[in-house]
């Protein structure tokens, strides 16, 4: 651990200032990011050696998975249960649910397979809110400009424009499904929506429900999916491999039923990957705010099939993860706290950054303070103070009423937010890059669409608060609609039943591994992190 200021001394330094002084900043944003953001560390990038994106930079841990061998071979498919559907959606979070609902309501037969249970995803953990330019003083153009600037002008302009333009329709759709949002005047009939400020935004445009917006969103999506007659739901059935036709197009996927310990081969006219990101890889040794299933499964499978990737060396480290107590390390403290007025303080009791700067800037500034010896050490944990007193003054709503999830977290940490600060440290939060898609979610592989955090290009190299929940719904709906259209076109073109795919692409991949001299002994995807990695049960008859 770097030299740091002991917790009790830091607490005294904090108490000595009635108004925390602001430390002078002697670095430009570019220099700050280059010197302190984890993406710029010397060991944070390598080059991909095989596949459609070979030569592109990628985080070494992720590159190892992307260039791994398959979990299964042809023997595993012998005697496996065979199913078919128009549209197969892989992933049970917000993107998968939105895609499945839209495809089903567009006339397609849909199968939705989830690694865990429907709703067990990063979606439910998104606290801050969702962006949408609905206020009279705002516009989709301003939304686009803010996000393009926040992503360092690296986003795909077409995708980002689509995101900002779709936002009002997404909010209407959610309200029609039954989602609640905070109102500016909750007691008035037909009250107007309440808008909050997000870091890096020129206008208040965050819509939220308290500070558990994602949980409320997933509630209505889950309830609607479970009641939708056109969707067949398969819980606890992770995808272990995609299927391909001879022409390289996607033909469906191989699932593994955890309850019955058997493979299921699903032939599909269109397949949508909505499997999320890679937070559980703990890149650069950081803790993570991500849920248990975020192990980059879809990325690995899409790349093996031939999908192009982009920006696989760009990740978001959320500034305010819990640093103490250790049992809660990495847990998310929503940006809504800083939006409401919470302050970041170093061990000298100083503010050192605009709390509502873009997340990558705040993270880099925090890591600079720790590297300079101005961090705070408590029981072996390094961090900085998040001072909640500005949210708890006389005449203000209680923290429990305005940010109940934060009050609950403070209680779990044993902190009285009216007196004591939380100790925070950046936590691995979001995967900025991913599969290259067009405006309808189509990947470079025919028959394979993608939506949600698995995709790249929408946010550039840094994402603004509230654009993730918007992303999963805007592009989840687009992918679902496009998949249904293409499935219908395939039905009209041929009266033949589904043509079963195979895993010939796996054998081609294995040849690439051998020619490049890469280690083929480690299979992927991981499916589950750490010691929970799954051992696939293979009946003896499959090897006979």
Gyration radius of the chain over CA positions: 24
* The CA-based dihedral angle spanning residues 110, 115, 117, 119, taken in that order and rounded to the nearest 10 degrees: -80
Instruction: Please state, in angstroms and rounded to a whole number, the distance separating the CA atoms of residues 255 and 267.
Output: 11
Residues in the chain: 544
CB atoms within 10 A of CB 395: 4
Beta strands in 72-113 (DSSP E): 81-90, 110-113
Sign of the four-CA dihedral 287, 317, 279, 168: positive
CB atoms within 10 A of CB 11: 19
Please identify which of the residues 269, 304, 359, 461 carries the catalytic annotation.
Answer: 359
Residue 235 near residue 92, CB atoms below 8 Å: yes
Instruction: Please state, in angstroms and rounded to a whole number, the distance separating the CA atoms of residues 259 and 526.
Output: 18
Instruction: Select from 130, 13, 6 the least CA-distant residue to 387.
Output: 13
* The CA-based dihedral angle spanning residues 516, 519, 522, 523, taken in that order and rounded to the nearest 10 degrees: 10
Spell out the SS3 assignment of 382-440: EEEEEECHHHCCCCCCCHHHHCHHHHHHHHHHCCCCCCCCEEEEEEEEEECCEEECCCC
Instruction: Select from 532, 538, 525 the least CA-distant residue to 64.
Output: 525
What is the DSSP-derived secondary structure letter of residue 285? Answer: G
500 labelled catalytic: no
Instruction: Please state, in angstroms and rounded to a whole number, the distance separating the CA atoms of residues 522 and 59.
Output: 17
Peptide bond into 325 cis (omega under 30): yes
Cα dist. 422→254, 303, 347, 394, 509 in Å? Answer: 45, 41, 13, 20, 48
- Residue 253's DSSP bridge partners are 242, 266
Burial of 530 (0-12, 13-18, 19+ CB in 10 A): exposed
Residues tagged active-site: 359
């Amino acid at each position: 651990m770097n030299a740091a200021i002991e917790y009790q001394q830091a607490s005294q330094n904090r108490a000595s200032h009635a108004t925390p002084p602001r430390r002078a900043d002697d670095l430009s944003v570019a220099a700050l990011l280059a010197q302190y953001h984890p993406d710029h560390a010397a060991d944070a990038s390598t080059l991909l050696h095989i596949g459609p994106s070979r030569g592109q930079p990628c985080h070494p841990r992720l590159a190892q998975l992307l260039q791994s061998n398959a979990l299964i071979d042809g023997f595993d498919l012998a005697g496996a249960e065979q199913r078919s559907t128009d549209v197969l959606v892989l992933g049970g979070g917000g993107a998968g649910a939105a895609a499945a609902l839209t495809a089903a309501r567009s006339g397609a037969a849909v199968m939705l397979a989830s690694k865990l249970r429907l709703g067990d995803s990063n979606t439910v953990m998104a606290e801050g809110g969702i962006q949408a330019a609905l206020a009279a003083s705002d516009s989709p153009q301003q939304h686009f400009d803010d996000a393009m600037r926040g992503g360092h002008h690296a986003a795909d302009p077409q995708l980002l424009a689509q995101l900002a333009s779709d936002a009002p329709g997404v909010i209407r759709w959610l309200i029609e499904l039954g989602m609640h949002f905070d109102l500016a005047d909750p007691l008035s009939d037909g009250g107007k929506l309440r808008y909050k400020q997000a870091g890096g935004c020129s206008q208040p445009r965050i819509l939220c429900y308290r500070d558990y917006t994602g949980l409320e969103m997933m509630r209505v999506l889950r309830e609607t999916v479970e009641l939708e007659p056109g969707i067949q739901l398969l819980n606890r059935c992770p995808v272990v491999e995609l299927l391909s036709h001879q022409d390289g197009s996607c033909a469906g996927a191989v699932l593994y039923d955890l309850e019955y310990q058997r493979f299921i081969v699903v032939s599909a006219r269109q397949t949508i990957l909505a499997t999320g990101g890679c937070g559980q890889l703990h890149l650069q040794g950081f803790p993570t705010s991500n849920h248990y299933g975020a192990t980059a499964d879809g990325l690995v499978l899409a790349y093996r099939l031939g999908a192009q990737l982009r920006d696989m060396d760009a990740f978001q480290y959320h500034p305010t993860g819990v640093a103490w107590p250790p049992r809660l390390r990495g847990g998310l403290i929503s940006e809504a706290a800083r939006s409401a007025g919470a302050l970041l303080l170093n061990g000298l009791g100083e503010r050192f950054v605009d709390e509502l700067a873009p997340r990558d800037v705040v993270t880099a500034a925090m890591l600079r303070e720790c590297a300079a010896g101005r961090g705070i050490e408590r029981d072996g944990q390094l961090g900085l103070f998040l001072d909640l007193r500005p949210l708890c003054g006389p005449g203000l709503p209680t923290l429990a009423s305005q940010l109940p999830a934060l009050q609950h977290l403070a209680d779990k940490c044993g902190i009285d937010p009216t007196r004591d600060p939380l100790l925070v440290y950046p936590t691995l939060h979001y995967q900025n890059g991913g599969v290259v898609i067009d405006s309808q979610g189509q990947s470079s592989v025919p028959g394979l669409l993608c939506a949600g955090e698995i995709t790249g290009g929408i946010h550039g190299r840094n994402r603004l608060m509230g654009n993730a929940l918007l992303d999963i719904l805007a592009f989840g709906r687009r992918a679902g609609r496009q998949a249904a259209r293409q499935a219908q076109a395939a039905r009209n073109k041929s009266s033949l039943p589904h043509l079963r795919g195979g895993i010939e692409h796996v054998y081609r991949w294995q040849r690439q591994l051998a020619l490049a001299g890469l280690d083929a002994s480690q299979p992927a995807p991981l499916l589950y992190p750490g010691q929970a990695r799954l051992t696939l049960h293979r009946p003896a008859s499959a090897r006979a």
